[in-house]
Amino acid sequence: MHKSVTQIILLGDGMGGRPVPSLGGQTCLEAGNYPALDEVARGGECGYTDPIGPGQAVGSDTGHMAILGYDPVRYYTGRGPFEAKGVGIDVQPGDIAFRCNFSTVENGIIKDRRAGRITEGTDQLAAAVNEAFRDGIDGVEVIFKESVAHRAALVLRGEGLDPRITDVDPHKTGVEVPQCQPAAEAADDPAAQKTAAIINKFVEGVQEVFADHEINRQRRAAGLPPANIVLPRGAGTAPHLMPFSEQYHLSGAMIVEVDLVRGLGLYLNMDVINVPEATGGMDTDEMAMARAVVEAAASHDFVLCNIKSPDVGGHDGNAEQKMEAIAKVDRAAGHLLDALDWDSTVLMVSADHCTPVTVMDHTGDAIPVAFYGHGVRPDGVQSFGERPFAAGSVHRIHSLDIMNIMGNYAGTLPKFGA
Amino acid sequence: MHKSVTQIILLGDGMGGRPVPSLGGQTCLEAGNYPALDEVARGGECGYTDPIGPGQAVGSDTGHMAILGYDPVRYYTGRGPFEAKGVGIDVQPGDIAFRCNFSTVENGIIKDRRAGRITEGTDQLAAAVNEAFRDGIDGVEVIFKESVAHRAALVLRGEGLDPRITDVDPHKTGVEVPQCQPAAEAADDPAAQKTAAIINKFVEGVQEVFADHEINRQRRAAGLPPANIVLPRGAGTAPHLMPFSEQYHLSGAMIVEVDLVRGLGLYLNMDVINVPEATGGMDTDEMAMARAVVEAAASHDFVLCNIKSPDVGGHDGNAEQKMEAIAKVDRAAGHLLDALDWDSTVLMVSADHCTPVTVMDHTGDAIPVAFYGHGVRPDGVQSFGERPFAAGSVHRIHSLDIMNIMGNYAGTLPKFGA
């Protein structure tokens, strides 16, 4: 259809939360001063959304899938394929992909799952891995690539593989490095057995490669934990997702900070726009991201932007930091309010999930959502937050309905019936 | 079950809307003075409903199906079968039915899709069509019948037909009359090819019949555009719908103004009651309709009434007209409030969809809904409208739940469990 109204989704990653005792029982969204978010609430339709169903916590991958209308229950194949695609590996049908951490192990015990949050030299470590496994393992091709900080991705390519295997990353420290095994439901499956065996050889081989690597000699000399192991997890095959432009007949752009979500955008064949100043941390330049959104909106029907830092503050249990991060989302929203023509733009502001500082992890709490701009019926809600949105007119929607709601405001969704 | 509580659904077609700048940002429902609707709101449970899902716009056919509990996603077969049934053609299994317009064509270019909104003589034109195709086309029976104004319906009856064909009506003027073709998904299907070929012969034959028809000679003499072609669209087979009385064990009546919805009532084997004073326009006698509802309520368990005119005002982008039309709904509601025993009646007032004057078409905005009468828990909402209903206790329901809610108040819905 002819483009007339631009659709924009602005997400503060993990922005929703729960009451924080040190904030007098308010949430980080409720306690902070966010004038642009409040303006969106005052001029918008407010409520809650659930990505899968009430109570069900999601990841950033499954949360974004739901918001974009791709049912995660049906299409999600694991974290690995998203990370691997996001870091730039051309994941192909049949490949088994993994999310990995550079980690620190000592006498077989995991000491640091993020190797002191290593930021430099992972490219050299990755190059050494690829060199070591240049001939593959048991006839299977090995593709390894570093991502931001301690993150990396691994792809196995070959015949007779199966993603139904256990994680090597135990998600805690002070324990032995687990052996990769077929998952319970695939215990007797030769492909899963073969894949697990290859992963164990990979993890063992990486340790040999990394033990005396120059980067680790430097790290030990500097008193930093060495990156002397790689812990794969989240095995999965490439998901089958209809390209965004075919699904919605809209041109779509994505401006995000994490490879996991970038991978989704790449699978959907959206224009994944790189903003060099977007770091994913507290030092990110949210205004550069907001300017990129405005620029993308001039040439696309649809733009999704995710600012990562509120989720980091949530995971760290740091309310002050989370509120500073939400202020970044607020400033980005303010730039959108200033720069765009609201007679021909519709905006949704929300989050992919809640990450309460009191939980320090994702929760399945209802996620605040506000629709603003062309066509909406402002509902009288006066401020952006979990409790104020209880009075909103959106009430509680499934996230899979969001794209239809946006399409309704934009006038791009065909009528069903006569 | 024994009848004790009568269930009534009163719909203002397309009555929901969006903020209108000339009304100070209020909707037509919010800005007008509708004492009876406000009384329903004050004494009722208020909220929103979505016929298919949030954001998804529907037609009057699919909207009414959802309200009556017949899932349009599952059962809808296109507009034609409803129109054809509604004008009185006995559509049978296997028939292919079409909605048609009497239109004006000049040198092969469509000049007026409604032939100057022709109101008289279409019965004679239709008789000429049936006479011309008395022996059918390619062994297929042709049944054509005029409806209100420029509207008509066509049924093809015979072996080897398929509804997967394109519309002849291009929904715009200034273009050539399209050839009917098999739809993309049925391009190689012989039945679809045969059906399309028959439709093309029909359209061609109609033009020969109409060219010098007496009615058109009169129209040309009067300076009116001739009805010199018929444009079929919305091909479909008869839907498979369980009769209302079997589905709900209730006797049901329908008092409506448009053939599209009347057709649904006939497929459901409801008592479709004709009110001669109901015109579907601004000159309709809503009090005659309301009296007919009260009369039907005395002998039926369930009555659905739709007043068409608010939708017309919406499509015309005329806020004043739409408000006058809503006032008709209000007066009808007032008569119901006065005339019925509310200890033994439950009423729902709502719309089949929203038709904002700012959009001039149906939208997928949440539709206001209020339940009133026997058994309801008044929720404190003080006036009937889009925004006031945000605070209502109904919150946001799927329209497929409405019949259960009505049955619950009426005590006719059996308990599930012990």
Q: Interface pTM (ipTM) of the complex?
A: 0.91
User: What contacts A83, CB < 8 A, 6 or more positions away?
Assistant: A97, A98, A99, A147, A151, A153, A234, A259, A260, A263
How many residues can be counted in chain A?
Answer: 418
List helix spans (H) across B177-272: 190-211, 214-221, 244-248, 259-267
| Contact flag B365-A377 (C-beta cutoff 8 Å) | yes
Coil, strand or helix: which one is B251?
Answer: coil
| Contact flag B395-A396 (C-beta cutoff 8 Å) | yes
Give the model's pLDDT for residue A149: 87
> Hey, is the C-beta of B407 within 8 angstroms of any chain A C-beta?
no
| Contact flag B55-A378 (C-beta cutoff 8 Å) | no
> φ and ψ at B14, to 5 degrees?
60, 20
Bridging pattern class, strands A151-157 and A96-106: antiparallel
Confidence band of B149 (pLDDT split at 50, 70, 90): confident
- Give A136→chain B minimum CA distance, Å: 45
> Hey, is the C-beta of A222 within 8 angstroms of any chain B C-beta?
no
> Hey, is the C-beta of B61 within 8 angstroms of any chain A C-beta?
yes
- Which residues, in sequence order, are bridge partners of residue A49? A367, A397
Q: Residue A88, Cα to own-chain centre: how many angstroms?
A: 15
Angle at alpha carbon of residue A168, lines to A219 and A110, rounded to 5° = 40
How many residues can be counted in chain B?
Answer: 418
- Check: CB of residue B14 under 8 Å from CB of residue B27: no
> φ and ψ at B96, to 5 degrees?
-110, 125
Contacts of A377 in chain B (CB under 8 A): 18-19, 27, 365, 386-387
> Which of these ranges, A180-194, B1-15, B396-410, has the smallest mean pLDDT?
B1-15
pLDDT tens-place string over residues B243-288: 999 999 999 999 999 999 999 999 999 999 999 999 999 999 999 9
| Contact flag B390-A375 (C-beta cutoff 8 Å) | no
The distance in angstroms from the start CA to the end CA of chain A is: 19
- Check: CB of residue B282 under 8 Å from CB of residue B327: no
- Give B388→chain A minimum CA distance, Å: 8
Give the model's pLDDT for residue A208: 97
Q: How far is B158 from B202, CA to CA, in rounded Å?
A: 15
Which of B46, B82, B363 to substitute to test the interface with A, most A CBs within 10 Å? B363
- Which residues, in sequence order, are bridge partners of residue A369? A47
Contacts of A417 in chain B (CB under 8 A): 58-63, 65, 72, 76, 79
> φ and ψ at B362, to 5 degrees?
-65, 145
Q: Residue A116, Cα to own-chain centre: how many angstroms?
A: 22
Of B55, B63, B386, the CB nearest to A417: B63
| Contact flag B57-A408 (C-beta cutoff 8 Å) | yes
- Check: CB of residue A231 under 8 Å from CB of residue A203: yes
H-helix or E-strand containing B338? helix B319-339
Coil, strand or helix: which one is A328?
Answer: helix
Residue B2 clears pLDDT 80, i.e. is over it: no
> Hey, is the C-beta of A397 within 8 angstroms of any chain B C-beta?
yes
Closest residue in B to A415 (Cα) is B57
CB within 8 Å of chain B, chain A residues 83-122: none
Q: How far is B215 from A303, CA to CA, in rounded Å?
A: 55
| Contact flag A416-B59 (C-beta cutoff 8 Å) | yes
> Hey, is the C-beta of B263 within 8 angstroms of any chain A C-beta?
no
CB within 8 Å of chain A, chain B residues 36-55: 47-48, 52-55
Integer CA distances (angstroms), A184 to A79, A187, A218, in order: 19, 5, 41
- Which residues, in sequence order, are bridge partners of residue B182? B165
Q: How far is A211 from B11, CA to CA, in rounded Å?
A: 75
> Hey, is the C-beta of B380 within 8 angstroms of any chain A C-beta?
no
Give the model's pLDDT for residue A179: 97
Over chain B, what is the mean pLDDT? 96
Concatenating the DSSP letter of every residue in A79-146 gives HHHHHHHHTT----TT-EEEEEEEEEEETTEEEETTTTT--SSHHHHHHHHHHHTTT-BTTBEEEEEE
Tokens found for residue B162 = 């398929």
H-helix or E-strand containing B295? helix B286-299
Tokens found for residue A92 = 């192909």
Tell me the pLDDT of chain A (418 aa) as tens digits: 345 899 999 999 999 999 999 999 999 999 999 999 999 999 999 999 999 999 999 999 999 999 999 999 999 999 999 999 999 999 999 999 999 999 999 999 999 999 999 999 999 999 999 999 999 999 999 999 999 889 999 999 999 999 999 999 999 999 999 999 999 999 999 999 999 999 999 999 999 999 999 999 999 999 999 999 999 999 999 999 999 999 999 999 999 999 999 999 999 999 999 999 999 999 999 999 999 999 999 999 999 999 999 999 999 999 999 999 999 999 999 999 999 999 999 999 999 999 999 999 999 999 999 999 999 999 999 999 999 999 999 999 999 999 999 999 999 999 999 8
> What percent of chain B lies above the pLDDT cut of 70?
99
pLDDT tens-place string over residues B316-329: 999 999 999 999 99
Q: How far is B180 from B230, CA to CA, in rounded Å?
A: 13
Residue B148 clears pLDDT 90, i.e. is over it: no
Tell me the Cα Rg of chain B: 22
| Contact flag A380-B390 (C-beta cutoff 8 Å) | yes
Average pLDDT rounded to a whole number, residues B147-157: 94
Give the model's pLDDT for residue A3: 53
Which of B75, B354, B359, B365 to substitute to test the interface with A, most A CBs within 10 Å? B365
Give the model's pLDDT for residue B177: 97
Integer CA distances (angstroms), B133 to A54, B198, B275, in order: 59, 11, 33
Confidence band of B1 (pLDDT split at 50, 70, 90): very low
